[in-house]
Structure formats: C-alpha cells, structure tokens
Amino acid sequence: MEYNYIKSLHLIFIITWFAGLFYIVRLFVYQIEADEKPSPEREILLAQYKIMTYRLWFIITWPSAVLATIFALWLLYLMPGWLLMPWMQVKLVFVVLLLAYHLKCHQIYSQLQNDQFKYSSNFMRLWNEGATIILFSVVFLVILKNAFNWIYGVIGIILFSVLIMLGFKFYKRIRERK
C-alpha cells in the first residue's frame, strides 16, 4: 500500500516538474523577445518576466524536481530489483539527461535575471523540445518496459526528433513571413 502512495506522489511531482520546465523555457523566449522591444515597453516587460520566472522556478519547478527525486529514490528503496532491469537502467540515463537539462535551464534563468542575453528566442524554442524528447522516451520506457524493442525505440526517438526539427523550421518560416 505504501508503494502506491509513493508512486502516486512521484508521478504528481514529475508532472509538475515537466510543466515547470516547459513553461520556464517559454518565459525565456518571451523575456529574450522583450529585450528587443523599445523603451519603456522593454523595461516593463522584463521586470514582469523576471518576477514570473522567479516564482515559477523556485515555487514550482525546483520543489517539484526535488520531491520527484526523493519519491523516486524511495521507490527504488522499496523495489531495489528494478535497478537490475535494463529498462530502468536506460530510464535512469534519461533521468540524468533531465537533471542536466534542468541545471542548464537554471544557468539560463540566472543569466536572464542578470540581463545577460546569450541565446536567441529561436534557440530557446528549439531548446524547449529537449524536455519533450526526454518525456516521450521515459514514458515509453516505463509503460512498455521489457516489451520495448530497443531498435524500434531508438528509431522512434530519432524520427520524433526529426519531426520536431521539421516542425520548428516550418514554424520559423511562418514567423518570418509575418
């Protein structure tokens, strides 16, 4: 019974963590584009986006990441045999990638809070897809587990990534025409 409660909490905080990651990068896009606006619109928007990103990052995203991790470790404590399963080992590789993605978002957050604009809004739109690829990969691994054919899985992730890139290029062309 304890397992189901811990698993439920883990899943809830995974969902809120991803929601935070998806939205924070969207706010980065808006913040970068606001920096290109004329004064006083620029200052007003940047001040508002700094408040919004601060609240999202430290009230939702970071706490969700920490709690999702705590409940994940608790689940592994309850079910240590999972660590021997190939699907879990691959999942943990994606979790490490997710943590690296999160830390890079934190670095970008800090730069933008200090008015350091090192990336374009187009880069941020593309960067936002990193979390999507990780999410798809982890969900398919967890649901399909040992029934998952690794060759088809790798091909699927590559095709999914190519589709995202094509969609991004198509969207960029539409934006440039406006």
Alpha-carbon gap, residue 101 to 131, rounded angstroms: 7
CA dihedral 97, 99, 104, 109 (to 10 degrees): 150
Task: Tell me if 108 sits within 8 A of 119, measured CB to CB.
Answer: yes
Q: Indicate the helix (H) or strand (E) that contains 75.
A: helix 62-78
Alpha-carbon gap, residue 160 to 31, rounded angstroms: 28
Helix, strand or coil for residue 125?
A: helix
Binding residues for heme: 10, 91
Alpha-carbon gap, residue 165 to 161, rounded angstroms: 6
Binding residues: 10, 91
Which residues does 14 contact at the CB level (< 8 Å), separation at least 6?
64, 68
Helix, strand or coil for residue 135?
A: helix
